[in-house]
Amino acid sequence: MSWIKAVGIGPGSSELMTNKAIEAIAECDVVIGYTSYIEMIKTLVKDKQIVSTGMRKEVERCEIALEKAQEGKKVCVVSSGDPGIYGMAGLLLELSIKNRIELPIEVVPGVSAVNAAASLLGAPLMHDFSVISLSDHLTPWEVIEKRIELAAQGDFVIAIYNPKSRERTEHFDRAVEIMLQHKRPDTPVGVVKNADREGETVLVTSLSRVIEEDIDMTTIVIVGNRNTVSERGHMITPRGYKL
Amino acid sequence: MSWIKAVGIGPGSSELMTNKAIEAIAECDVVIGYTSYIEMIKTLVKDKQIVSTGMRKEVERCEIALEKAQEGKKVCVVSSGDPGIYGMAGLLLELSIKNRIELPIEVVPGVSAVNAAASLLGAPLMHDFSVISLSDHLTPWEVIEKRIELAAQGDFVIAIYNPKSRERTEHFDRAVEIMLQHKRPDTPVGVVKNADREGETVLVTSLSRVIEEDIDMTTIVIVGNRNTVSERGHMITPRGYKL
């Protein structure tokens, strides 16, 4: 029986993969993914057919996955982190419905980048939080801007994916400007680059200073709420226990 | 050398635990956790000293962890899901700072309940989302209500933890009422009970009908954004690719 699984391989190291993800890859015939994610799991995929494609080829990857499965193959489409968070799970399901393909599609969740980044910072996500991507590749900037505004107004902890890319550097500064209208300048901000990967860096700064940091598309930025503290290099958002 | 690790054991099954969590438990002397979480990992903790306590004993559990580590023990404090999301990581760090205890404290992230629930529903979290707990045990209800309002206004996908407890049943209905002021009545809503545990149930309904469902504190509710669709029993929030 053929199937497709959208498999989350975790943020980077094999240590943070789940057993379910490892098993799914072990049982499949074909592994499809973005080139650098295939690289992350190269020891697991030695005897598999591998289809790796570059960035922004997501639709193509899913179409190949559906084709291969229709040919009778067991297919894993791998995403770093969790395939359900800015990953490949949605696109796979959308395409299977659009093309009326009736095949079992399972989503194998993973430790997402934001969970990994938070763990390295201490405990910034202990209270209500919003996750926002600043990439305007698929979403109008006005929508993103409005979400930043409302999340800041609601005193959410805000986790930012894709803060900057090579072509797009000004959005992050604008996002910080908006957050500064609702959050204190000394609000702790965590900046994690390459979480759980080679070149990992972790630092805690403040909302008024974060634009000085070296931020790129491998970075997750986590902005605290009004109670978040920064101590001993850790960022901690209290849950509210009386101590 | 003694240490403390706040370890995420994932949503329920050992399949969704990470290798890092399994290793941390294997290497420690003492495992501390809420009784039912210890039960979830009973095969892993056979030769360990176990300290299990009931609900709302979080501060006590962390104090015991710090004591044991000060006695020279290696200690794992386990949380279901991810210890950094409404888990024990923050409290541990807070108490260690308050009591000026200098011990290595590491957070081992896990697949959180919301990731697991989303994977069972399909792909509801493919776009910007907010995570909100309706428990007013540690947070004033006015703050929670305001956050629901703003997240709904921003067209976030909204994931709700602790929608109801035995003593507190009216908050969820009020939250739905608020969301209905900003989201369409036919907005898809996923209701997942006991994700990845015994008694798991998964269903997709709509915002106007969700209050009819049997919802309790083991339930995660995920409310879609304006583009979320419900098809073939799946809930899918498009990322925005043109298909």
Let me know if A51 is exposed, middle or buried by CB neighbors in 10 A (0-12, 13-18, 19+): middle
* Cβ-based contacts of B151 with chain A (< 8 Å): 130, 150-151, 154, 156
* Cβ-based contacts of B95 with chain A (< 8 Å): 243
* Gap from B227 CA to chain A (nearest CA, Å): 12
% of chain A surpassing 90 pLDDT: 91
Confidence of residue A243 (pLDDT cuts 50, 70, 90): confident
Q: Which of A5, A9, A13, A15 to probe the B interface (max B CBs under 10 A)? A: A15
pLDDT score recorded for residue A42: 93
pLDDT digits (tens, 9 = 90+) for B199-212: 999 999 999 999 99
The strand pairing partners of A157, in sequence order, are A129
CB proximity under 8 Å: B 28-57 to A: none
pLDDT score recorded for residue B242: 87
pLDDT score recorded for residue A53: 84
pLDDT score recorded for residue A168: 85
* Gap from A179 CA to chain B (nearest CA, Å): 14
Low-confidence ranges of chain B (pLDDT < 70): none
Dihedrals φ, ψ of B175, to 5°? Answer: -60, -40
pLDDT at A123 over 80: yes
pLDDT digits (tens, 9 = 90+) for B22-54: 999 999 999 999 998 999 999 999 899 999 987
* Cβ-based contacts of B111 with chain A (< 8 Å): 18, 82, 109-111
Q: Which of B101, B153, B241, B242 to probe the A interface (max A CBs under 10 A)? A: B241
pLDDT at A28 over 80: yes
Confidence of residue A165 (pLDDT cuts 50, 70, 90): confident
For chain A, the distance separating the N- and C-terminal CA atoms, rounded to the nearest angstrom, is 56
Report CA torsion sign: A191, A194, A196, A201. negative
**Most distant CA pair in chain A, distance:** 60
pTM: 0.97
State the virtual CA torsion across A55, A58, A63, A65 in degrees, nearest 10: 80
pLDDT digits (tens, 9 = 90+) for A47-78: 999 999 877 789 999 999 999 999 999 999 99
Helix (H) or strand (E) holding B191, with range, is: strand B188-193
**A140 close to B (CB below 8 A):** no
Q: Strand, helix or coil at A142?
A: helix
Confidence of residue A169 (pLDDT cuts 50, 70, 90): confident
Size of interface A-B (CB pairs under 8 A): 226
Tell if the CB–CB gap between A147 and B129 is shorter than 8 Å.
no
pLDDT digits (tens, 9 = 90+) for A216-229: 999 999 999 999 99
Distance separating alpha carbons of residues B73 and B30, to the nearest angstrom: 7
B125, B131, B117, B243: which is closest to A87 by C-alpha? Answer: B125
Q: What is the mean pLDDT of residues A117-141?
A: 97
pLDDT at A142 over 80: yes
What's the gap between Cα B1 and its chain centre? 31
Q: What is the mean pLDDT of residues A12-41?
A: 95
- Per-residue tokens: A25: 């890859």
What's the gap between Cα A55 and its chain centre? 15
pLDDT score recorded for residue B160: 98
pLDDT at A41 over 80: yes
- Per-residue tokens: B134: 């309706």
pLDDT score recorded for residue A23: 97
The amino acid occupying position A165 is: S
**Most distant CA pair in chain B, distance:** 60
Distance separating alpha carbons of residues A122 and A236, to the nearest angstrom: 6
Q: Strand, helix or coil at A235?
A: strand
- Per-residue tokens: B93: 């760090």
A179, A151, A125: which is closest to B153 by C-alpha? Answer: A151
Q: Strand, helix or coil at B208?
A: coil
**Chain position carrying tokens 């008694």:** B199
pLDDT score recorded for residue A136: 92
pLDDT digits (tens, 9 = 90+) for A72-84: 999 999 999 999 9
A163, A183, A197: which is closest to A228 by C-alpha? Answer: A183
CB B225 within 8 A of CB B156: yes
